[in-house]
Chains A and B, each alone.
Chain A
């Protein structure tokens, strides 16, 4: 990385695991308060409240039509919220035109100006902000060095590959040093291999600039790789906000649990509710599910127990543990290379998915179709969802 790229007003973000968790930043740098957006009676964004820290990379994650893009467009100033407030760095943004906001967006299609060179594209923002010419040139050089596109300064966008176009789009959107950077499906136009490479690179550049960033994506993997915190959206509402591991390991709703990753969901009713353990009776399993801690619920309540396939073990011998095991036959095997997912059918007809890491080259040979196996999980492997 070029050394002159270090930005003057921001020291590099501390290189701990998750810089966004670092409490130095202002917790309420960007505040979204009761924001609602309606289109002809259709509610696209439904009373959303969010607080985003300074320097954080925040992802709005959800399926298509969940309102994430509309919320992003509200932040960019392209759409006016029907109700509610957007406050950035203490300033109310609702009625400020997009060209007067210190908020820049990187478009999904990049929206590079086709008639301008890479250099002119990056210079567009600083020039519009009435920066002196010499300073603009210096800023452009700095930004192109940052994204390693100096060599391509005189090229037109159509002469660049997808990944290069993305770098230019990023350089253009941060060239004015915005207070807030918005990324709209940043990897949407890239192929899978380039995607994982650019995800990390993009995060590196954004953290180097210490710019606060809100991104929109439908790709859970992308959100988990890039973002410090994720807001899961559905039907215009925020369903859960948390760090990637919180969302993955402690989903608060069935929607959140099912949206991210594979999941075994066992429905049943609470049989015993004690402060230090709980059992759930389900028709799917021969024995009740045993949970090694207390939960908020009551006996007889209908709940769903969710456990991820990688937390479900598979073995030929009966596991030594007392609870949480069942016998079944392997019905399907999905081979993913790094691991295989076995679909085990229990006598009740219920299918349990279990991951098996292929640590040895032919490890996946050890189980095959119609094998009689045991599936099992720890007392604390799953979560109980009551919504």
Chain B
């Protein structure tokens, strides 16, 4: 029995340490490297930035260069890009919710056998490469693309609409690409809803719509928040969709970051842009986490 007692704490520690080690290696260390680069100067060297820590004359020198961050505040272009990214992400999230909620609700109310098929259909498109699906949208939205041809042939429009390379195309692309991330958490929440609560509401005189607003909607709040987080957070940093579909008018921080890194070769500036974006996204994540924590405590109490 003795070996057990001595072994158990160690093996437990070993199991717990795996995710921490993972986080350390693949999140904390890269983050610190990016943070370090953000506080350095651009340089014509390999790597193309100046060191932050220097060992000169038996002294360790820490030089934090704040000019990259100051540049972010000074140059209205960056602020605009942040604001525009948040706006595009927020509006896309709203439309994902608007389209995703009824879909998730309907799937959750289907008989269990067809429910799985419907969920399959939601997930199925993501088996095809993301890039290919975005290229498909280019084919649909082009001036002589599928959508315009269809609309022209039924006679709804007289001349083709210009959709490709406009913010509208970027919105369509983002909503399309992130819709499953809205539907899945909403579905898993709505499928758990006790239907007797709705019956109780009808029984007490609530019309179906009232019962939805008073019972279903508030009880699915955690699903709504989870879905919005899953859509909003990656959408803010989205690069591929605005680049391929949005055209030059669609200003997003991911594109600025890309151009700083690959075109200007300014690694420190690109790193600073990334750090600020991360901080901006951390705020809603913390709020979400707090909310979940409170809900969990409430249920356990």
Contacts and interface: CB of A to CB of B under 8 A. Distances in A.
Nearest to A114: B219
A226 B136 CA distance: 69
A103 B206 CA distance: 13
A159 B301 contact: yes
A105 B200 contact: yes
10 contacts: A98-B203, A107-B196, A111-B197, A112-B200, A113-B215, A128-B204, A158-B298, A158-B301, A159-B301, A176-B204
A109 B210 contact: no
Interface residues of A, number: 27
B225 to A, nearest CB: 14
B249 interface: no
Contacts, number: 68
Contact of A107 (B200, B211, B298): B200
Contacts of B196: 107, 109, 111
Given A77-B203, A109-B194, A128-B201, 17 more contacts: A76-B203, A97-B202, A98-B202, A99-B202, A99-B203, A99-B206, A107-B199, A109-B196, A111-B200, A112-B200, A113-B200, A113-B201, A114-B219, A124-B201, A124-B204, A128-B205, A172-B204
B254 to A, nearest CB: 38
A322 interface: no
B4 interface: no
Contacts of A107: 196, 199-200
A125 interface: yes
A197 interface: no
Nearest to A128: B205
A78 B200 CA distance: 10
Contacts of B12: none
Given A111-B196, A158-B299, A125 B205 contact: yes
Contacts of A78: 199, 202-203
Contacts of B206: 99, 124, 128
Interface of A: 76-78, 97-100, 103-105, 107, 109, 111-115, 124-125, 128-129, 156, 158-159, 172-173, 176
Interface size, B (range): 20 to 34
Nearest to A100: B205
Q: Closest 10 CB pairs between A and B? A: A128-B205, A125-B204, A111-B200, A111-B196, A98-B202, A99-B202, A128-B206, A115-B218, A129-B205, A105-B203
Nearest to B196: A111
A112 B210 CA distance: 17
Contacts of A98: 199, 202-203
B290 interface: no
Contact of B197 (A76, A97, A113, A159): A113
A111 B203 CA distance: 11
B299 A128 contact: no
B194 A111 contact: yes
B207 interface: yes
Interface string B139-165: 000000000000000000000000000
Given A113-B215, A128-B210, A158-B301, A176 B200 contact: no
Interface string B206-227: 1110110011001100000000
Contacts of B214: 113, 124
Contacts of B211: 99
Interface-central residue, B201, B211, B218, B299, by most chain A CB under 10 Å: B201
A129 B201 CA distance: 12
Contacts of B210: 128
Nearest to A104: B203
B298 A156 contact: yes
Interface-central residue, A112, A114, A129, A158, by most chain B CB under 10 Å: A114
Contacts of A76: 199, 203
A107 B204 CA distance: 12
A115 B301 CA distance: 14
Interface-central residue, A99, A105, A156, by most chain B CB under 10 Å: A99
Contacts of A77: 202-203
Contact of A99 (B194, B207, B218): B207
